Structure 1
Amino acid sequence: MAGTATAGALTIRPIEQADRAGWGQLWQGYLDFYKTELPGEMYDLAFDRLLSGAEGEFAGFIALVGDQPVGLVHYLFHRHGWKAEKVCYLQDLYADPSVRGKGVGAALITAVYAAADEAGAPTVYWLTQQDNATARKLYDQIAGVTDFIKYQRVL
C-alpha cells in the first residue's frame, strides 16, 4: 500500500484505528452531501472493512492538516471482464468544505493512483453526480470522463 505523503501542512496517509472519530465526522459530511443517512452500525461496519486488509475489501486514506482530519477517500480493487489485471474503484471522496480548492481532493486521488500503481492496477475509475460542478472541475483536470451512464436496480 502507498505510504504517507506530506505536502506543506497536508498529510495523506492510510486510515488507522485511531482515526475512527475524525473519519466518522468526515464520512457524515460526505453522506450529508449526498443526502444519505445510514445507521450507526453501518459506520462501524464500513470502518471495520477499511481496516481489515482483506483481499477485495475496501481501503482508504485520510487527509490531515496538522492533526486535523480534513478529507477521506475509500477505494477497492476488483477483477474486470475485459482486463487481465484488476481495476481500482474509487468509491468515496470527500474534503471538508473549509479546505475545498486547496488541493486535498487532488492529493487523495493521487494517493489512490499510487496505490493502484503499486498493486498493478492501471485503471482507476469513479462516479459522481452530473451536477457536482465543483468536484468535476478537479476531475476534468486529473482524469478523463467516459460516455457510460450508470443504471441501477430499483426496488
Structure 2
Amino acid sequence: MSEELVIRTLEKRDRAEWEVLWLGYNAFYGRSGETALAPEISQMTWTRFFDPYEPVHAMVAERGGKLLGLVHFLYHRSTIQIAPSCYLQDLFTAADARGLGVGRALIEAVYEHAKAAGIPRVYWQTRETNVAAMQLYDKVAEKPGFVIYHKKL
C-alpha cells in the first residue's frame, strides 16, 4: 500500500463503508446476531455525528478511496477539572489493515482534535482480552489502573 493514509472527519457519503466497519466493530465486541444493536441505535449514532449540538465526533482512516478504520469520541464535563475530557469510545480497524499504523493514526488524530479544542485529557477502555490492541495502547497512553463497573438498568 503505497498511497498515503488520510485521517479525516466522517462525511455523509461514507455511510455504506462506515456501516461495514461499524458492524465489524460491534461483532468484535459480541454485538451481532441476536445480540446486535437495534438499527435505531446505529441510525441515531450516525445522526449525532452530523448534529452540531452533539458532543459526539467521528473520523475515518482512508487510503486509496477505501475506509480502513473509524474512531468515535465525545467530549464531556468532569468533576475533577474545569476543561472537558475526551472519551474515545470506539476504535476499529479493518482486519486487512491491522498492523499498518491505522489505529495509531486514528488515536493521534483524536489527540490533535482534543488539543485544538482545549481539552487536556483523552481516555478510553478496552477488554482485558484485547491483547493486540493493548500492545498499541501501551505505547500511546498510560494505563491508570482503574477497574470499570457497570450495571444495566
Using the size of structure 2 for normalisation, the TM-score is: 0.93
Gaps of 5+ in 1: 1-6
Q: Does the 8 Å CA contact 1:53/1:59 hold for their aligned counterparts?
A: no
| Offset of residue 107 of structure 1 | 0.4
Q: Distance in 2 between matches of 1:8 and 1:52?
A: 32
The one of 5, 17, 25 aligned to 1:10: 5
Partner of 1:122: 120
* Secondary structure at 2:17 match in 1: helix
**CA shift at 1:39, angstroms?**
2.0
Query: Does residue 43 of structure 2 align to residue 44 of structure 1?
Result: yes
* SS of match in other structure, 1:80: coil
Shift of 1:131: 1.1
Q: For structure 2, list consecutive stretches of 5 or more residues without a partner in the other structure.
A: none
Alpha-carbon distance between aligned partners in 1 of 2:18 and 2:152, rounded to the nearest angstrom: 30
**1:23 counterpart letter in structure 2:** W
The answer on whether the counterparts of 2:3 and 2:64 sit within 8 Å (CA) in structure 1 is: no
Cα deviation, 1:91-134, whole Å, max 9, x if unaligned, reads 00000010101000000000100010011111000000011000
Give distance in 1, aligned partners of 2:108 and 2:56: 17
CA RMSD of aligned residues (A): 1.3
What code does the residue aligned with 2:89 have?
Q
Q: Which is strand-richer, 1 or 2?
A: 1
Q: How many residues align?
A: 148
The letter for the 2-side match of 1:152 is: H
Deviating runs (4+, > 3 A) in structure 1? none
SS at match of 1:85: coil
Distance in 1, matches of 2:101 and 2:53, equals 30
2:133 partner letter: A
Matched, 1:145 2:136: no
Q: Give the whole-Å Cα distance in 2 for the aligned partners of 1:41 and 1:50.
A: 14
